[in-house]
Amino acid sequence: MTHITPKQREEVPELEPMLQMVEASMGFLPTSMMTMAHWPELTQAFGGLGATVLHSGELDAGLKQMIAFAVSNAAGCRYCQAHTANSAEKNNVSAEKIKAVFEFEKNDLFSEQEKAALRVAVHAGMAPNAVEAEHMTELSRYFSEKQAIEVVAVISLFGFLNRWNDTMATTLESAPKSFAADQLASHGWVTGKHE
């Protein structure tokens, strides 16, 4: 059970345009956003950052979600793992490939470019951060500097969300929870510690 009760949407009418966009994009309204809504200015700022990082730029949206899934897995955030795996599927990443993210280094489903991005994500999600110069050198072989910035921006966005949701004990919504239980259980995914 979450540590702070999420706001109800009618309590934050100033956020309604953003909430509608998020709900249209994700198919549901995230509990994390409604908890954040206790500070509407933070919600607005974070919503803008999230939209920029995930919905603009040059990288494929499916790759961005796989990066987010990999960093969330390394950080241990079950809430974000469920969200990002579900979002990857909505962005045309196959269920087989989503499951294979756990073993991307040895799996031929992933290109060398994808492996370079996922490698940085996994190492960035460790505490302490384990990204080495060679990881970034490998990333630069496959991505322009702007694209590398996008990779790190996705990782950083989910660094915030991983800490937020684990600290707040955010309750996972039914759609991503069901997806993760069906698709990720064979890889050790279980309902979050706060469910």
* Cα→Cα distances 84→34, 66, 77, 133, 157, Å: 18, 7, 11, 27, 12
The CB density around residue 48, as the number of other CB atoms within 10 Å, is: 11
The CB density around residue 122, as the number of other CB atoms within 10 Å, is: 23
pLDDT of residue 186: 75
pLDDT of residue 195: 53
Domain at 59-186, CATH class: mainly alpha
* Residue 76: alpha-carbon gap to chain centroid: 12
Separation between Cα atoms, residue 143 and residue 140, nearest integer Å: 5
pLDDT of residue 28: 93
Coil, helix or strand for 163?
Answer: helix
* Cα→Cα distances 90→28, 98, 154, Å: 13, 11, 17
pLDDT of residue 180: 87
In tens, the pLDDT along 54-78 reads 999 999 999 999 999 999 999 999 9
pLDDT of residue 192: 55
pLDDT of residue 42: 97
For the record, the structure tokens of 16 come out as 């309604």
Alpha helices per DSSP H over the chain: 16-26, 31-36, 40-55, 61-75, 78-90, 95-100, 112-124, 133-142, 145-168, 174-183
Which DSSP symbol is given to 130?
-
pLDDT of residue 1: 77
Separation between Cα atoms, residue 147 and residue 163, nearest integer Å: 25
142: Cβ contacts below 8 Å, ≥ 6 apart? 112, 113, 116, 117
Separation between Cα atoms, residue 64 and residue 61, nearest integer Å: 5
Coil, helix or strand for 23?
Answer: helix
**Ranges of the chain whose pLDDT falls below 70:** 190-195
pLDDT of residue 191: 64
pLDDT of residue 184: 81
- Looking at every residue in the chain, the average pLDDT score rounds to 94
Tell the burial category of 88 from Cβ atoms under 10 Å away from its Cβ (0-12, 13-18, 19+). Answer: buried
